[in-house]
Structure 1
Amino acid sequence: MKKRNLALLTSGLVLGLTACGIEQDDNNGGTNAAENNGNNNTNNAAENDSNDNSNNNVLDIDETFEVTYSTWASEGEPAYQGMEHFKEMIEERSGGNITIEIYPANQLGSTIEQMEQVSTGTIEMMSSGDPGLDEIEYLSLPFLMASNDHWMEVLESDTGQEFNQKLIDDQGLRTIGILPRGPRVISSNVKIETPEDMSGLSIRAPAVDYYVATFEALGASPNPMDFGEVYNGLQTGIVEGQENPLETIYSAGFHEVQDYIINSNHMYKPAFVTINNEFFESMPEEYQDLFLEAAEEGEQVATDKLLENEADMIQEMEDSGVEFVDPDIEAFKEATQSVRDEMGTEVWGEETYQEIVEIGQSDLN
C-alpha cells in the first residue's frame, strides 16, 4: 500500500453533521454487522509482530490526552481490528501518555448523535460510513468509484481538499483516514447476469435517491424497507433480492434465504475515521503525525482482515448452496450511466464531475 501524503491528510479530510438521508443500518455497518464472521479472527491485529518497527520509538513528550472513540463496528470485525491497531500503536508510541477507549456497536448513540458529540467535543473520535456532506456522499454513485484506493485518490486531490476544508471550517471535524469495506453486491433468488434479468425484480434498497435511481435504471423495482425487516422480507418473498457489502450479507444471514450472490460491485463506500479538529490541533505536532500514521496502518490492518475473512465467507456461503455469479459489468455500467452523469453534474458541476471521473481512470492505469 502506498504511503499516504500526511501533509494532505493534515490539511483535513473531514466530515459534516448533515445525515444525507443515509440509513444507519447497512450503510454504517449497523448492529447486524456485529455478527460478522470477523469474530472468528480473535487475534488482535495490533499484536502483529510485523508492525513492531512502528511501535519501537516512544515519543519524548510529557503531555497526556484521553480519547473516547465511538464506532458502529463490533469487536472482531475487520474495521474494529483496524481501530484496535490504531489504539495500541498510539498508546505504545506515546509511552502511555495517550489513552484511547473504543466504544463499539453504536453504544454512544446513532451516527448523527455521535457526529454531534465529536463536533461539540463531548467525545474526541468516531468512525462512520456516513460522510455527512453531499459532495462526499455522492462519490458512492453507481460504478463511479473503482476501489477504496480510488476514494482516497479523490479525497487527497485538490477537489477533495476543497470539500473537506469547507467541512472543517463549518463543523470542526477532521477525517484522518478511512476504514475499507467491501463493494456492494446483489443477493437474489433470480440469477442475474445482465440488466435485463433485473426487469421487474423487487429489490430492497436504501431510501436514498441515488440508490433508488440506480435500481430503477437497471429495470428493478426498489423497495426501501427497514433493514431489520429484510431477512423476513426475503424469506417470505416480499422482496426477491437486496444489496449490501458481502460482509453485511453474511453477518445478517441473507445468504440463508437467497440463491445467488451477484458480484456487481456497483458501489464502494468506506467508513471514515473522524476526530474533533480542535482536539487534534491541541496536540503537539508529533502526536498529530502519530495519529495520521496509526490511522494509515489501521486502514491496512482492516484491509488485510477484510480480505482474509472474505475467502471464508464465500466458502461457507457456497457450502450452503449459494451460487456466485459474475455479471456483465459493462452492461450494468452503461445502464446506470445517466444516473452518474445527471446526479454527478447536479452535485459537483460538470467540470468537477469530470475531474473525479478522470482521477479514477488515472488510478486504474
Structure 2
Amino acid sequence: MSRKLKMFLVVLIAVLFISTSVLAAPLEIKLAHEEPGDVETSSSHAAALAFKNVIETESNNEMFVNIYPGNAMGRQRERLELTQANIVQVNVASIGGLSQFYEPVNAFDLPFAFPNHAVAYRVIDGEFGQRLSEEMEAETGLKLLTTSAGDFYVLSNNVRPIRTPEDMEGISFRVMSVPSHIAMMRSLGASATPIDWSELYTSLQTGVIDGQHNPIPIMAIGGLQEVQDYVTLTNHLYGTDWWVTSSEFYESLTDEQKRIFANAIDAAKVVGRGHKVLTGITTYGVDFLEEAGAEVYAPSAEELQMFRDAAIPAVLEAIEDDMGEAGLDFANRLLEAVEQVEAELYK
C-alpha cells in the first residue's frame, strides 16, 4: 500500500469518527421558568422535573434537559426572546410575558370566564387551544405546547375587607402589564399599577401599593401573605403556565424525538396541574392564609355577580379598544368554548 493511500485512509477514518461522534452527541434541551427550583413549593419546577425524566429515560439519555429556575435565563421578555432564537428550547411563560409577543392572548384573561378547573382544562386542551397555538406560531414563531399549572386568582390588600365592588374604591392594586387586568381593576373602582413580580413584596411592604391579585400558591412563593391583611376569594381570573418552544427547534427534531418530546409535555401537564391543585387544597389553601394572620372572606353568589356585572363589560370594551376585532373575536371564541364545554360536561 502506498504512503499516499495510507494517509488517505487515516484521514478518512478520522473524518468518519468525528462525523459519527457529532451525530451521536446528545441533544440538550434548556428549560427555563421563573419559580424557585423547589419541587415542594413550585408547580412549574415539579412539571419541569417530570418533563426532564421522560425526555432522558425514553431517549436513553440521547436527549437531556437542563432546568434553569428562578429567572436564571432572564425575566419574561428576555426568556421568550431566547426561546425565539432557539437558545432556550422550552420556556414556561406567564400571560404577561407572552402577551408582549402575541397580543390577542390578553383576551384569555376575561374575568370570571372559567367556573372551575375541569372546564378550563378542556377549553385549553381542545379546539380553542389548538387554534390559539396555530395562530400564535404563525405570527411569532413561538409554538404553544401546553398549559400546566393553573389556578384561580384572589384579591388581597392592606386597607379593608372587600366584600363588594364598592369596597375596592380607592385601593391601589399591583397588576401585570395586561390591559384586561388594568381595565378590570378600574371598573371595580380601584387603581391599577403595573409592577414587576420581583418588586412586589417590597412594594406591598412599604405601601407603594395596597394590594395585589394572584392565586394563593403564587402568593406563598412570594411570601405575600406576610404583607397582606385581607383576602377575598373572588376566583376572578384563571392563571396558568404557558409552555412554549420555537418553531425552529421543534421542526429540527426527528419523528422519534418529537414522540418523546410530546410524551414529556403530557407528563409535565399532568404533574403541573396536579401539583397546583394539591398544594391549593393542602399546604397553600385558606388555612395557610389564616395561619399567616390574614382575614379571609368568601363572597356570596350575589356579591360575585356584582363583580361580574361591573368587570366583564369593561374588560370586553378594553379588549376591543386595545386589540380591535382580533382581540374581541378571541374573547368571544373563549366564551363560546367555555359554554360548549359546560354543555358537554353538565348535560
Shorter-normalised TM range: 0.7 to 0.9
Residue in 2 that maps onto 1:260: 230
Q: Do structure 1's residue 281 and structure 2's residue 255 form an aligned pair?
A: no
- Say which of 302, 314, 321 aligns to 1:339: 314
What per-residue deviation string (whole Å, max 9, x for no partner) do you get for residues 298-339 of structure 1?
122122222232222233321232222112222211111212
Distance 1:200 1:274, change over 3 A: same
- Equivalent in 348, 352, 357 of residue 326 of structure 2: 348
Contact 1:218–1:335 (Cα < 8 Å) also in 2: yes
Structure 1: gaps (5+ residues): 1-61
Match runs of 1:138-177 below 5 Å: 138-147=107-116, 150-158=119-127, 160-177=129-146
Larger fraction in helix: 2
Paired residue type of 1:320: A
Task: Give the 3-state SS of the residue equivalent to 2:151 in structure 1.
Answer: coil
TM-score (norm 2): 0.78
CA separation in 1, counterparts of 2:276 and 2:330? 32
Partner residue in 2 for 1:23: none
Counterpart mapping for 1:115-134 below 5 A: 115-129=80-94, 130-131=97-98, 132-134=101-103
Q: Is the 8 A contact 1:148 1:269 kept in 2?
A: no
Q: Which residue type is aligned with residue 65 of structure 1?
A: L
Greater C-alpha Rg? 2
Indicate if the aligned counterparts of 2:31 and 2:88 stay in contact, CA closer than 8 A: yes
Q: Report % sequence identity.
A: 25
Root-mean-square deviation (CA, aligned residues, Å) is: 2.6
For normalisation by structure 1, the TM-score amounts to 0.75
- What CA distance in whole angstroms lies between the structure 2 residues aligned with 1:72 and 1:277? 22
CA distance in 2, matches of 1:160, 1:286: 24
Q: Does the 8 A contact of 1:71 with 1:106 survive in 2?
A: yes
Alpha carbons 2:233, 2:298 under 8 Å: kept: yes
1:243 aligns with 2:213: yes
For the residue of structure 1 that corresponds to 2:233, the secondary structure is strand
Q: CA deviation at 1:83?
A: 0.9
- The size of the alignment, in residue pairs, is 304
Inter-partner Cα distance in structure 2 for 1:127 and 1:200: 34
Is residue 152–residue 237 contact of structure 2 (8 Å, CA) maintained in 1?
yes
Moved over 6 A (4+): none
**1:206 and 2:176 correspond:** yes
Q: Shift of the alpha carbon at 1:146?
A: 3.9
SS at match of 1:313: coil
- Amino acid in the other structure paired with 2:293: G
The structural deviation recorded for 1:225 is 4.4
**Structure 2 residue runs without a partner (length 5+):** 1-23
SS at match of 1:266: coil
2:166 to 196, 211, 215: 196
Alpha-carbon deviation of 1:70? 1.8
